[in-house]
């Protein structure tokens, strides 16, 4: 039975691009959602064209700009960091990509709470990235990181956590055989 593939940034909905009504004192000053969307499209186009280093540099700059604009704990920031993780995975730096995904999961918990469906999906994205790590990577140690964070968020008896634990065990058996 094949497992579903979770895209790096989930399902982008119109709400992603909308901002709540604010008074002028609270309004973002330099990075409206339309500008973010345009920059994300440039990043995606660069990655699609094989210009991964350029896309990663653009994503790093966007991360800095979004963080400056909205703060470290904001949904826009989380989503840009998930994109950065995906780009690192495309560049075969799976450990860094997974670290970005796990960081994003933890930020989502802070923002949305551990029971929010997006937190579950983000945890599954991190697991999917770990699952696809090449055998020569530090897969067991990274799997332990995924398991620890998933357990902290979802609890030791959550179906996702049990599944991750089982996969980590199976891969440890395969590696020692």
Q: What is the pLDDT of residues 118-149, one digit of tens each?
A: 999 999 999 999 988 877 668 888 999 999 99
Residue 173: pLDDT band by 50, 70, 90 thresholds? confident
- Asked whether residue 170 carries a pLDDT value surpassing 60, the answer given is yes
First to last CA, the chain: 24
Yes or no: say if 79 and 36 are a contact pair by the CB < 8 Å rule: no
Q: What is the pLDDT of residues 16-57, one digit of tens each?
A: 555 555 444 454 467 888 899 999 999 999 999 999 999 999
Q: What angle do CA 95, 96, 100 make, to 5 degrees?
A: 120
Burial of residue 91 (number of CB atoms within 10 Å: 0-12, 13-18, 19+): middle
Burial of residue 38 (number of CB atoms within 10 Å: 0-12, 13-18, 19+): exposed
Q: What is the pTM (predicted TM-score) of this model?
A: 0.79
Show me where the domains of the chain are located: 14-19+30-91, 116-177
């Amino acid at each position: 039975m094949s497992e579903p593939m979770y895209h790096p940034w989930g399902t982008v909905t119109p709400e992603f691009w909308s901002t709540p009504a604010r008074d002028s004192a609270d309004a973002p000053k330099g990075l409206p959602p339309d500008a973010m969307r345009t920059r994300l499209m440039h990043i995606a186009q660069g990655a699609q064209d094989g210009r991964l280093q350029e896309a990663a540099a653009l994503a790093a700059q966007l991360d800095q700009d979004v963080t400056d604009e909205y703060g470290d704990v904001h949904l826009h920031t989380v989503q840009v960091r998930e994109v950065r993780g995906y780009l690192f995975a495309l560049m075969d730096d799976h450990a860094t990509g997974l670290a970005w995904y796990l960081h994003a999961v933890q930020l989502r918990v802070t923002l949305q709470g551990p029971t929010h469906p997006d937190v579950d999906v983000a945890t599954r994205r991190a697991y999917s990235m770990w699952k696809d790590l090449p055998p020569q990577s530090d897969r067991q140690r990274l799997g332990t990181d995924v398991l620890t964070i998933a357990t902290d968020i979802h609890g030791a008896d959550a179906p996702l956590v049990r599944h991750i634990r089982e996969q980590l065990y199976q891969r440890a058996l395969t590696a020692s055989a």
